[in-house]
């Protein structure tokens, strides 16, 4: 099975990178697992475009567009933004980037997101980069870096962990069953974690090489 997908025949609306081979890597891990730091390293060393679903939603709200107003209202009402809305924002960002290699960070957040992404785009990730870290270590990191923020209290942090465990782990288990998960021990120092990441992304690795 090829690991780099041809979007030309698979995109549901015919607009996404229609003449390129596209590499998509989902980046998953709990709050405080160091995803953002490592994504920045991957972008710098391997030329990927880093897309954060949360950042795209916030940018759309800030733009004042009709779509952004709808997203903002849904969030205010405590509703979950439909997967298709987030996926369309991801597709647009991929199109506009001019790149053909993407890190999608913090998405899919749950099984429904995952299924919708594959249905709407016709693509699966080349692999899933999973930053595995003990809850105690993530808790320690969040408490040390978020001092003074409203969301740095232990109850809120533990609630975020519970949501992550309940929602994201089924996604990781699904892709693991397909042999697509590359698990990284994220509890180690940043430099050591990136050494492990480099082993996954090295061009000699047939899983990743375009």
The mean pLDDT value of the chain amounts to 83
pLDDT digits (tens, 9 = 90+) for 133-176: 888 888 888 888 755 555 557 777 788 788 888 888 899 999 99
On the question of pLDDT at 17 being above 60, the answer is no
- Please name the fold of domain 5-199: Rossmann fold (3.40.50)
Domain residue limits, the chain:
5-199
How far is Cα 90 from Cα 18, in angstroms, rounded to an integer? 15
Ordered DSSP codes for 43-73: HHHH-PEEEEHHHHHHHHHHHT-HHHHHHHH
178/70 Cα distance (integer angstroms): 36
- Reported as a single tens digit per residue, the pLDDT across 69-127 is 999 998 888 787 899 999 999 999 999 999 999 999 989 989 999 999 999 999 999 99
User: Residues comprising the binding site for a ribonucleoside 5'-phosphate?
Assistant: 58, 79-81, 106-109, 149, 160
SS3 breakdown of the chain: % helix, strand, coil, rounded to 5?
55, 15, 30
Q: Where is the binding site, in residues?
A: 32-37, 58, 79-81, 106-109, 113, 145, 149, 160, 188
Binding site as annotated, residues for ATP: 32-37, 145, 188
The predicted structure's pLDDT at residue 149: 53
Report pLDDT for 14. Answer: 42
Burial class (CB in 10 A: 0-12, 13-18, 19+), 3: middle
Q: What is the pTM of this model?
A: 0.79
Catalogue the E-assigned strands of the chain.
Answer: 5-6, 21-29, 49-52, 101-105, 127-132, 181-185
| Residue 104 burial (10 A CB sphere; 0-12, 13-18, 19+) | buried
Write out the binding residues for CMP.
113
């Amino acid at each position: 099975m090829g690991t780099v997908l041809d979007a030309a025949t698979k995109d549901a609306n015919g607009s996404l990178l229609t003449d390129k081979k596209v590499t998509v890597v989902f980046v998953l891990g709990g709050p405080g697992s160091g995803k953002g730091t490592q994504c920045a390293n991957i972008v710098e060393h391997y030329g990927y475009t880093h897309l954060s679903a949360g950042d795209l939603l916030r940018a759309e709200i800030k733009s004042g567009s009709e779509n952004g107003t709808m997203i903002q209202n849904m969030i205010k009402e405590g509703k979950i933004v439909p997967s298709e809305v987030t996926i369309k924002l991801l597709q647009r960002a991929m199109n506009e980037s001019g790149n053909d290699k993407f890190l999608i960070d913090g998405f899919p957040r749950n099984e429904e997101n995952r299924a919708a992404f594959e249905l709407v785009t016709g693509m699966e990730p080349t692999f899933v980069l999973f930053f595995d870290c003990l809850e105690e270590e993530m808790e320690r990191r969040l408490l040390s870096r978020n001092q003074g923020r409203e969301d740095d209290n232990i109850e809120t942090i533990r609630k975020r962990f519970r949501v992550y465990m309940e929602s994201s782990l089924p996604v990781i288990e699904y892709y693991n069953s397909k042999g697509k998960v590359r698990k990284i021990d994220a509890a180690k120092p940043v430099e050591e974690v990136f050494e492990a990441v480099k082993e996954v992304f090295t061009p000699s690795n047939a899983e990743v090489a375009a």
